[in-house]
Amino acid sequence: MSVFPKISLRLEVENYLKAGFMNKEILSALGKQEAERRFEMLLHNLSHPPSFTTVRVNTHLASVQHVKNLLFDELQKQFNGLSFPVLQHPDLQDVLLIPVIGPRKNIKQQTCEVIVGAQCGSAVLRGAHVYVPGIVSASKFMKGGDDVSVYSDIKGKCKKGAKEFDGTKIFLGNGISELSRKEIFSGLPELKGVGVRMTEPVYLSPSFDNVLPSYLFLQNLPSAVVSHVLDPQPGEKILDLCAAPGGKTTHIAALMHDQGEVIALDKISKKVEKIKQNALLLGLNSIRAFCFDGTKALKLDMVKDTDGEPPFLPESFDRILLDAPCSGMGQRPNMACTWTLKEVMSYQPLQRKLFTVAVELLKPGGMLVYSTCTVTLAENEEQVAWALEAFPGLQLQHQDPQVSTGLHWWLSGEESACQCRKCRFDPWVGKISSRRKSATHLSILDWEIPWIEEPGGLQSMGLQKSWT
């Protein structure tokens, strides 16, 4: 059910997306009216949270059933005895689903208002409280303990510290202020805790702040699917080429039973530290994280290896995950994107550089999984078409597991690349045979399924790299 307006985009960006989603195959199969309806549904659902909160169990430290029982008890405490079902995903046994309740429409709005930034607002819709850094504005006489209504400044027009705001704002629910307006805008950098504790959110979803931190990892469903598709095995050497913040890295290590070696790269040092912290928290010792630019991870000097540190010699890894930097236009909820078309289209060259490095670093018989969190053709289908042409030995390969989430309506014009019908957001994969190196696979995965009420979906295509 739509309670918020559709995602706000620049007209040039919306037209760009529409041109891709209403290609000639779609118009022929559905007709213009139905195709337009589904595209509008996509835009509306992008601005709303998924219907489930998903968490991944750290199976390295505990069984799924044990953690499921602990989580059920924690949620009862959090919601004062209200029973939230904790469901185990039928295909991904280490993933738990908690239904999101909402939208709740009969919430009385308070006189005292707090305005938060769009990013903070999205977190609130996923179950978070309001933290002080996310607060942009508060009513003039707001004191600690006041009942307040929280709104999201989706277009970023509210000035920091404003006493009132009459621009575009979206109601997120009610809460209790932990601090006064004066304290929030005192300028003290150490104020980073909860500013408003949400009591009546429009979407009721559990908060996972410090909930079973060694046993659970908050992770969108398609993100958890990615590591299962990679299918890492104990004793293998795995590369996570763009790894921060480490959710997939730690999942890979857990699936390997922490036996083998997982190399995680990111070019931002603070993010690398976060990967290391997550590995330590989850008790995983097979992960080695390096601050290194993935585009430079291939060692061109063939004289000797670098003692296990980047850059690496060609064909060094059994499996590689390339969770590429992207325009992020598939993440939910997202009520507004202010990017220009140039910015949205700027990621394809970087993705291809990383892709080229990944192919070179992959051993014969290895698996390469490529994933994005966006909905653009240029970063998904067009990358597949390019890869098949640029690397003749790569071939599409079947994806396992296939997580069915409904709507098989996307048909792409890239038939030369895929040689088959595609499901844009459903898990689907075609097969290809090898020419140069055998049994090397690549899967392309889109995160989020914006037009159905599920936490996420994916499109997958495997590429096989054959023996020379």
Active site residue 373: yes
Was 307 annotated as part of a binding site? no
Catalytic residue among 120, 158, 373, 418: 373
Coil, strand or helix at 321: strand
Sheet harboring 441-446: ordered strands across? 287-291, 261-266, 237-240, 317-323, 362-372, 441-446
Coil, strand or helix at 184: helix
Was 244 annotated as part of a binding site? yes
Q: Are 117 and 153 in contact (CB under 8 A)?
A: yes
For residues 365 and 360, what is the distance between their CA atoms, to the nearest angstrom?
A: 13
Was 349 annotated as part of a binding site? no
Was 246 annotated as part of a binding site? yes
Burial class (CB in 10 A: 0-12, 13-18, 19+), 196: buried
Was 418 annotated as part of a binding site? no
3-state secondary structure 166-177: CCCCEEEEEEEE
Was 243 annotated as part of a binding site? yes
Was 166 annotated as part of a binding site? no
Beta carbons within 8 Å of 245's beta carbon, 6+ residues apart: 271, 274, 275, 278
Beta carbons within 8 Å of 223's beta carbon, 6+ residues apart: 247, 248, 371, 447, 456
Q: Are 330 and 446 in contact (CB under 8 A)?
A: yes
Was 49 annotated as part of a binding site? no
For residues 24 and 19, what is the distance between their CA atoms, to the nearest angstrom?
A: 10
Coil, strand or helix at 282: coil
Was 247 annotated as part of a binding site? yes
250's tokens: 């730690």
Was 301 annotated as part of a binding site? no
Catalytic machinery residues: 373
Residues annotated in the binding site, as ranges?
Answer: 242-248, 266, 293, 323
Q: Which residue ranges make up the annotated binding site for S-adenosyl-L-methionine?
A: 242-248, 266, 293, 323
